[in-house]
Structure 1
Amino acid sequence: MTEDLISYSLFALSSILIVVNPLGALLVYNSITEFMDSADKRKVAAYGCRIAGAVLLFFTLFGSSLLALFGITISAFTVAGGVLLFGIGMEMVYARTSRAKMTATEKYESIDAEDISSMPLAFPMISGPGTITTVIVLSQNTSVFNQPVELGIILGSVLLTLIITYFVLISSERISKRINQRAYRVINRLMGIMLMAIAVQFIINGISQAFPMLTS
């Protein structure tokens, strides 16, 4: 039982952390806060992470209920989420910012936006479609009354990911000096490969749930 919880914890944390991709968020963060002082940059990072946390908390707790409301089975959503994450992973392997996270138009419009913390930093960079899909798939069939430990693990993974992302963002100047573009591309590609593997596992799980006779 303990080993299962440890494995689940590692899987949940790695899934959320990789799809959030703090280094990818860092590049966008640098570009939209280029002309700000250190204090304002910290405020942007803190507020962005808080908004992203609220979004992910909502979908972790109520995502499955929303799917049921629209008549969408969790197996169908799991397969669709796996396909989406696979596409994001492919973009990471090619060292490009995924269009599922942020389009060129959103990045351009954010330059003069009054509140760049919410758009595009919190959404769609940190709590984008891929991250929302991940927490919904992970939290399926979990609640405070049913499998509360697993739900706590997911919420803890979200919190830890946001803490890591925040410290990456506020350390942007030091990280940018130590990690050049070539090193970033290598790291991004490795994370992309891992995300693709997680996406394939999501697809396998979704198909197994929809067609249990295939795995019996």
Structure 2
Amino acid sequence: MILTEFVSNAAAMLFVTIDPIGLAPVFLALTAGASSTQRRTIAIKALAISATTLLAFLFAGHSLLKVMGISQPAFQVAGGLLLFIIAVEMVFEHRQKRKAESAEKASDEAADLSTVAVFPLAIPLIAGPATISAVILLAGEAPGMTGSMALLAVLAAVLGGVFLVFLLSDKISSYLNPTIQMIITRLFGVLLAALSVQFVADGIMSLFNI
């Protein structure tokens, strides 16, 4: 896989699985009643925790697979199927409902706003199973050291976008009415479905040496 193709695939997959725009209304719901300073603190904490989690899987994910006796092609197939399920949920609007339910649950249970940064913002809304799977899969397909560095840059850019969305969440939500959100979510879902099918196909070909 050439570098430019890898970077474009990585950017699309990470942007779709993390879904920065879709997190804006969830962040607003979770931080209802918080001041701008508190929201900034929560955003920084959530990004720090999710970034640490994703970097750990990016660098140690393959070692973990080896310890568990899981081959890269097998993980490609499993991860691709997981991403496909997420894509189906996005197309049929189930994912946003689950995010809203997680936000409501956290709002009911959290006595301190700072705990919201850990759950559900950092985990599982930003660094969830789909994103972790995507990071491990992309790390395995990265073309050499240059590809790994490019993947780090893409991940940093997407997480930076999440932070920006959090800071501007009130303005973004005012422009994104339910219809626009639905259109964006379904378009991203179709894109993620296509990428996940490609991962499954590549994994099957590697498994059977086709």
Give, in angstroms, the shift of residue 133 of structure 1: 0.2
Superposed displacement of residue 195, structure 1? 0.5
State how far apart, in whole Å, the 1-side matches of 2:196 and 2:56 are.
22
Report the Cα offset of residue 103 of structure 1: 8.5
Q: Give identity over the alignment, percent.
A: 32
1:121 aligned residue: 121
Matching of residues 82-93 of structure 1 within 5 Å: 82-93=80-91
Q: Which runs of 5+ in 1 are unaligned?
A: none
1:24 aligns with 22
Aligned positions, number:
206
CA distance in 2, matches of 1:96, 1:36: 28
Output aligned runs, 1:174-189, within 5 Å: 174-189=171-186
TM-score (norm. length: structure 2): 0.92
Distance 1:167 1:139 in 2: 25
User: Structure 1 residues 98, 59: CA separation in 2 closer, same or farther (over 3 Å shift)?
Assistant: farther
Q: Read off the aligned partner of 2:177 and give its amino acid letter.
A: N
Deviations 1:80-114, CA, capped at 9 Å, x for gaps: 11111111111111123268x7583x434411323
Counterpart residue identity of residue 94, structure 1: F
Deviations 1:156-190, CA, capped at 9 Å, x for gaps: 11100100111111111111111101100000000
Larger proportion of helix: 2
The alpha-carbon deviation at position 24 of structure 1 amounts to 2.2
Letter in 2 for 1:70: M
What amino acid sits opposite 1:14 in the alignment?
A
Name the CA distance, whole Å, in 1 between partners of 2:60 and 2:203. 19
Higher RCO by CA contacts (8 Å cutoff, separation 6 or greater):
2
Aligned partners of 1:88 and 1:98 also within 8 Å:
no
- Give the structure-1-normalised TM-score: 0.89
> Aligned partners of 2:24, 2:4: CA distance in 1, in Å?
29
Give the structure 2 partner of residue 152 of structure 1: 149
Structure 2 segments unaligned to the other structure (5+ residues): none
Deviation readout 1:40-66 (Å, 9 max, x if unpaired): 111111111111110111100010110
- Secondary structure of 2:34's partner? coil
Offset at 1:25? 1.8
1:107 aligns to what?
103
